[in-house]
Structure 1
Amino acid sequence: MALDDKIRHQHHDDEVGLPHSVNRDELVTPEYVEGTPDEAKLVRKIDLRLMPTLIVMYIFNYLDRTNIGNAKVGGMQTDLKLTSSDYSLVLSIFFVGYLIFEPPAVMILARTRPSIFLPAIMTAWGAVSVAVKGIDSLGGMLAFRVVLSLLEAGFFPGVMLLLSCWYKPSELSKRIAIFYCGTILAGAFGGLLAGGIIDGMEGVGGVRGWKWLFIIEGLATVIVGVVAFFTLPDYPQNTKWLSEDERRLASMRLIIREDLDEKMPYKKAILLSIRDPKLWLFMLALNVILASGTVSYFFPTLMGALGYKGRMVQFMTVPIYAVTLVINLAMGFSADYTRQKAFHVIGCAGLAVLSFIICAASTSFPVRYAFICFASPVTMFPGRERRAVSVPLINGFGNLASVYGSVHCGFATMTCFMFIAGVTAFVVKWIWDDKGLERIDYAAQERQEEAERRKI
């Protein structure tokens, strides 16, 4: 092997966690056999040590972001004298900050340790949530949402990046589905917590109940963030609860599917990612799905419009998330089992289109409530440098939809959005094989083009 190749491979080994003492040439031979009992045991161990921490972190990430909907019907809108437009602005400004801060945040994570970066930003946004106690104006709430977006921007794409460094593509769908259960559980229990806290803590210490909601959930977030410092792993090569053989196997599993890109600068990673047409199709699909997803911020308001009062406004959001939990898990496991992810997206988009049409056309409150439940499951949802660019670009661009989605959240509009999402998934399926969207090594192409230019 040439010296340049060895250097390039060493950079890659550092990325996927391959121990320096391991002979790389041995890893690309039939020595690695997929689906062995040892690999199954390793994956179970990773699941038990990695997934619970991430799920609990995501529960509080979602609670701290969406409890504003519960606070709105709990007295925040009246106390801060917010109009409907003001409330939409409070929602929208969060996603503007998310779009701006997300890519650099994840690039920082790609060069640091997840066990430090993710708990640190979590502890920080929990502390910021506690500070809501002092907010008494629209300006203060807008400032809070901007700071919250800055701190939360790196969390979700950072988790996706971390999962991709531990699991093979064929294993990711069900893990991501399980991870998404964090938002669903947060939504379900968030309504119960909000109902209890807002009513039970009203006026305690001279503080309104909706402010106690932010304070209590913020303090809980800080505690979880501190615990995560000690429980969240980094990458296979530096995880102490794996034996040497397990670290070797964890690296071998990933080396098979990794491209051999050298560690590249941020600007180059952006250019290579932008050249990938799949990136733009995924951006479009996520954009329209998340535009519809802003309906979740209005669940308490919708329950009030359906005639529920007091605590029941908060409690009636729980069944929506229960239905979402079942469908989410079923779709995630089915997508991994069949390896037909595009068809699952198309099917879920079709269900959402049907549900939104019925919600728009029906004047029956029970019918609308039932089909809001069925619409919610869809709408709630390279080398490390290239993944670190592509993931936040897709997620950030998708969250941009929440800016206009929070203003135009009519059922008819959401029907159109979900139809576009289904068509986009069909186009992706038609162009690329869903069993493994072809990996185009743009870095290798660039090196070849550079070599040809030198010959000329």
Structure 2
Amino acid sequence: MGTSNLMDYIKGHESAPGEGKLVQKIDFFILTFCCLSYFMNYLDRSNLTAAYVSGMKTDLKFHGNQFNVINTCFTVGYTVGQVPSNIALRYIRPRYFFPGMMLAWAGLTMCSAAAQHPRDLMAIRFFQGIAESSTFVGTHYILGAWYTETELGKRSGLFTSSGLAGTMFGGFLQTAIHSGLNGTGGLAGWRWLFIIDGLITIPIALYGLFLFPDTPRSTKAPYLSDHERALAISRIPDEKEALPLNFSFLLKVLSSWQWYGFVMLWVIAGETESFSSNSLISLWLQKKGGYTVSQLNDYPTGVPAVGIVSTLFWATLTDYYGGKRYLVGYFITVVGLVTSIMILVAGSQNTVSFVAYYLAGTVYACQATFFAWANDAMRFQDETFRGVVLASMNMMSNAVNAWWSIIFYGATYAPYFTRGMWAMIATCIALGLWTTGLLWMTVKAEKKRLAVSGEAIEAKEANLEGRNTETLSEKV
């Protein structure tokens, strides 16, 4: 990175002429596509739960924990695809890769409408998980490539919120489809949900194919001028020489504190989301009984709604305070402890449980802020290294969640999930401790980087001063 750019990072980055207009453009074209993509990503995931409580369970004769096994099959596929997806961005332009994966999962979503047995969905959801694995970690990789550390939190928050909006909208959509299309063409309402979700994904994929701007150094977007492309590159660190994907690269990744620190952070934090990501409120409502199909679909939408508010609040606040993402770790520690204890003591008191499940939605704030924290900490690293660490975070988290949900939140444990609540308490305590340790490591690493950078600047200035003195002596 040039001296002036380095000093901008040290001081917090100063706006350059035309930078505001550039950010507005990339906000529009990157965030619209990524947010719509993630919206559909979550809509296509949450529709399984909506379909399950709206007739699919009976039609396909589910029994035992088959519903959880289907979710696990998706999680396994999703986990397997994480690192390969981010590595693929090194070889395939994002505007081709992302839409291609979207078309794949749209087709698989529509195939779900033809399922005749739970095992059909197990196979479909596995491959759907592989296709959908590109969106979350891939977008965080792209956001880290375009935005500065004072811009990243809010954008990450908007992106994450779009997924939560997909979860929330899925409940209302299923309600509308069940009441309006159930029986149309001889198909149950839950089958129409899969068909419609797949169809509305296709136009978004086509939009990305034509207008997504790739990365600052590879963009050929027609709406960016030559000056804006150069400005976009000046906002990010100098390009590091791409590391070959060999055993040495693997050793670099696995010997780095960033890999262990941020992967374990997201493994722990990912399980604090278990209240919501495993649809516990839906299973709780169904097990308690006495609720209509509309209520079973509508009541759970309050959880992602709370998550959206919490995500945007914390993403904006941590940007305002110069990237203090660790604050969210302590917030989640407290909220997670409170909500799990509330459910343990609530028993049959529905009001207390409703409050606890909705309050647990605030934990979703960790998605945006923790991935922004990782992007901030690796801003000066090789791009492939950064992409692999980001992908590994989600990969390892989902690898744990694949069995965690069955052991602690199986459908047979509804409505109280006592075992899961105790696991949640332990997880929250671990998160508070790990956040403290990771904060110490990131502060230490940043001080070391600034010291090395300062020495490099001083050496360069001394060298330049020496050459100027030498030139002056020659003239004399």
Please indicate the TM-score interval, normalised by the length of the shorter structure.
Answer: 0.7 to 0.9
Matches within 5 A, 1:113-192: 113-192=93-172
Name 1:218's counterpart in structure 2: 198
Name 1:316's counterpart in structure 2: 299
Output the amino acid matched with 1:85.
Answer: N
1:288 and 1:401 in contact (8 A); partners too: no
Partners of 2:345 and 2:246 in 1: CA distance: 49
Structure 1 residue 362 corresponds to structure 2 residue 346: yes
Partners of 2:134 and 2:196 in 1: CA distance: 23
Name 1:400's counterpart in structure 2: 399
SS at 1:169 equivalent = coil
Partners of 1:262 and 1:96 in 2: CA distance: 30
TM-score by length of 1: 0.85
2:42 and 2:163 in contact (8 A); partners too: yes
Aligned residue-pair number: 415
1:92 and 1:403 in contact (8 A); partners too: yes
SS at 2:65 equivalent = helix
Cα deviation, residue 267, structure 1: 4.1
Query: CA deviation digits over 1:379-438, x for unaligned, max 9?
Result: 574222112211111110011122123211222222322222222111111333299586
**Pick aligned residue for 1:414 from 411, 414, 424:** 424
2:47 and 2:170 in contact (8 A); partners too: yes
Name 1:104's counterpart in structure 2: 84
Partners of 1:56 and 1:164 in 2: CA distance: 19
Cα deviation, residue 27, structure 1: 6.6
Output the amino acid matched with 1:227.
Answer: Y
Between stretches 282-291 and 377-386, larger displacement belongs to 377-386
2:263 and 2:389 in contact (8 A); partners too: no
**Pick aligned residue for 2:443 from 426, 429, 433:** 433
SS at 1:236 equivalent = coil
Name 1:344's counterpart in structure 2: 328
Cα deviation, residue 283, structure 1: 1.7
Q: 1:436 to 1:300 in 2, by over 3 A?
A: farther
Cα deviation, residue 181, structure 1: 0.9
Q: Which has the larger radius of gyration?
A: 2
Structure 1 residue 329 corresponds to structure 2 residue 312: yes
Partners of 2:445 and 2:301 in 1: CA distance: 35
Partners of 1:434 and 1:84 in 2: CA distance: 50
Q: 1:29 to 1:328 in 2, by over 3 A?
A: closer
**Pick aligned residue for 2:223 from 241, 248, 252:** 241
1:295 and 1:406 in contact (8 A); partners too: no
Matches within 5 A, 1:245-284: 245-255=227-237, 258=238, 260-265=240-245, 267-284=247-264
Partners of 2:449 and 2:300 in 1: CA distance: 41
Name 1:69's counterpart in structure 2: 49
Partners of 1:39 and 1:269 in 2: CA distance: 35
Q: 1:147 to 1:373 in 2, by over 3 A?
A: same
Output the amino acid matched with 2:305.
Answer: A
Output the amino acid matched with 2:195.
Answer: I
Name 2:468's counterpart in structure 1: none
2:73 and 2:123 in contact (8 A); partners too: no
Name 1:289's counterpart in structure 2: 269
Partners of 1:386 and 1:195 in 2: CA distance: 44
2:41 and 2:132 in contact (8 A); partners too: yes
Name 2:471's counterpart in structure 1: none
Gaps of 5+ in 1: 1-23, 441-456
Cα deviation, residue 231, structure 1: 2.4
Output the amino acid matched with 1:371.
Answer: A
Partners of 1:265 and 1:337 in 2: CA distance: 37
Cα deviation, residue 365, structure 1: 0.7
Partners of 1:148 and 1:337 in 2: CA distance: 37
Q: 1:93 to 1:373 in 2, by over 3 A?
A: same
Between stretches 424-433 and 25-34, larger displacement belongs to 25-34
Between stretches 53-62 and 227-236, larger displacement belongs to 227-236
Partners of 1:29 and 1:103 in 2: CA distance: 30
2:86 and 2:387 in contact (8 A); partners too: yes
Gaps of 5+ in 2: 368-380, 410-419, 451-476
